[in-house]
Amino acid sequence: MPLTGYPFEVLQMVDSTNNYAMAKVHAGLAKHGEACFTDHQTGGKGQRGKAWVTGKGRNLALTVILSPKQLNIIQPFELSTAVSLATVDFFSKYAGDETSIKWPNDIYWRDRKAGGVLIENKFYGNKWKWAIAGVGININQAQFSEELLNPVSLMQITGKPFEVEELGRELHQLIMKRTGELLTKRYELLLEEYNQHLFKIYQPVRLKKDNIVFETVIKGVSPQGQLITEDAIEKRFEFGEVEWILT
């Protein structure tokens, strides 16, 4: 059943839905659960400062403003888990069960990147007041820059175009459903589900740390968001500490 009562603002064009949402926070206008959506983003951003730009009607850019207090969470990765699960719920509905989460929160179909999550937080003193949860998904794009290693869109997977705003509204509802589960379920159950969807889990992968490439096996992700691997010994890595080597 659809969730109601959460505003969904449609922006014809914007530099970044995350920037727009954060401006609302700074202006004191933010509301828990409200979404900012566009299908034409000119200056979007991904992890590690990477750009994510989308031409009109091609892709989905959605940011949902969330109150950690209202969700009763104190650990940021709990929120990342819920938003990532919502995005997998959404994408796998159309692309099938080959959809996965590449740690920490990229959305993959087979070995190709379909989208990602970027959560930016606003603290006042030591209090976590707001989370700006941005999601970008490739929907109708048919050609990508050669600089991108392995992108894929929903249209490329299914062979048909989609109405992007309609999908944005659907994803908004799923994010509110999954983040609401942080109030009604034990976090361990959500983390278990996250790990069930984890890209390359129990498979050998190549990672890079400090210019050294090594092979290891993905074992899962910890409650604090650390990537757990095992080769000669079990290791745990923080986000940004290692880089995936994909071909």
Residue 159, pLDDT above cutoff 50: yes
In a domain, 82, yes or no: yes
pLDDT at 51: 55
Spatial separation of the C-alpha atoms in residues 55 and 42, rounded to whole Å: 8
Q: pLDDT digit string (tens) for 170-209?
A: 999 999 999 999 999 999 999 999 999 999 999 999 999 9
Range of the domain at 146: 8-196
Q: pLDDT digit string (tens) for 16-25?
A: 999 999 999 9
Name the average pLDDT for the chain. Answer: 93
Residues 41 and 120 in one domain: yes
Residues 144 and 211 in one domain: no
Residues 173 and 110 in one domain: yes
Percent of the chain with pLDDT over 70: 94
In a domain, 2, yes or no: no
Residues 180 and 239 in one domain: no
Confidence of residue 44 (pLDDT cuts 50, 70, 90): low
In a domain, 150, yes or no: yes
Comparing 33-47, 90-104, 119-133, the range with the smallest average pLDDT is: 33-47
Residues 149 and 209 in one domain: no
pLDDT at 65: 98
pTM above threshold 0.75? yes
In a domain, 1, yes or no: no
In a domain, 3, yes or no: no
In a domain, 61, yes or no: yes
Residues 137 and 221 in one domain: no
Q: Which residues pair with 228 in a beta bridge?
A: 220, 236
Count of structural domains within the chain: 2
Confidence of residue 33 (pLDDT cuts 50, 70, 90): very high
In a domain, 64, yes or no: yes
Residues 133 and 240 in one domain: no
In a domain, 99, yes or no: yes
Residues 124 and 176 in one domain: yes
Residues 96 and 218 in one domain: no
Sheet holding 8-10, edge to edge: 8-10, 35-38, 59-66, 127-138, 112-124, 106-109, 99-102
pLDDT at 3: 58
Residues 184 and 209 in one domain: no
Residues 215 and 95 in one domain: no
Residues 94 and 213 in one domain: no
Which CATH number does the domain housing residue 185 bear? 3.30.930.10
Spatial separation of the C-alpha atoms in residues 204 and 42, rounded to whole Å: 37
pLDDT at 214: 96
